[in-house]
Amino acid sequence: MRGFTLIEVVIAFAILGLSLAALYGAFETALSRAHRDVQFSEAMLIAQSLLARAGSEFPPAQPSYRGEWNNYSYELTQQTVNQPARPAAFTLPTVRVTARVWWPGSTGSRDIEISTLKLVSKASP
């Protein structure tokens, strides 16, 4: 009856060790990217929420709001868009709303910024 020699077992363990090290590196990279993607998704949801609340919870009379939520900082700015020289009777005032969200990341601060135009009723100040 013949078995494996000691050198064959050592070589097998060396190959197994190298394979596991490569798999661990790939797994760590995937987890790091997944964590970054989760942070980006949360920041995008915060920014979209700010844009949706602009005009109701954040009236256009105050042009800038800042705050923090969990580990994210945000700023909402509202700027009135100039009306054309001869606006049509049905033209409503327009406000450019910009939401900026930033958070600390493993490689420094990360941020996103999204903006939209919103119509403001004529009864608003």
Tokens of 8: 């064959």
- pLDDT of amino acid 76: 95
Residue 29 is part of which domain span?
6-119
Under 8 Å between Cβ of 70 and 45: no
Q: In the chain, pLDDT over 70 holds for what percent of residues?
A: 94
Rounded to 5°, angle at Cα 18 from 14 and 23: 145
| Both structure tokens of 55 | 């005009």
124 domain-assigned: no
pLDDT for residue 124: 45
* Total domains, the chain: 1
Contact 38, 110 (CB under 8 A): no
Given this model, what pLDDT does residue 1 score?
58
pLDDT at 125: 47
98 is a domain residue? yes
Q: Which residue has the higher pLDDT, 11 or 56?
A: 11
Residue 48 lies in a domain: yes
Q: Is 124 helix (H, G, I), strand (E, B) or coil?
A: coil
Q: Summarize pLDDT for 12-26 with one digit per residue, the tens.
A: 999 999 999 999 999
Domain for residue 109, yes or no? Answer: yes
Half-sphere exposure of 81 (CA within 13 A, CB side): 15
**In the structure, what pLDDT confidence band is assigned to residue 68 with cuts at 50, 70 and 90?**
very high
Can you tell me the mean pLDDT for 73-81? 92
Contact between 77 and 64 under an 8 Å Cβ cutoff? The reply is yes
The answer to whether position 28 is within a domain reads yes
3-class DSSP state of 106: coil
* Structural domain includes residue 1: no
Instruction: Considering only residues 123 and 15, tell me which one the structure prediction assigns the higher pLDDT.
Output: 15
The answer as to whether 77 is a domain residue is yes
pTM comes to 0.73
Specify the DSSP class assigned to residue 93.
P
Task: For residues 43-60, give the mean pLDDT.
Answer: 90
Domain assignment present for 25: yes
Nearest CA-CA partner of 96 in 83, 80, 84, 82: 80
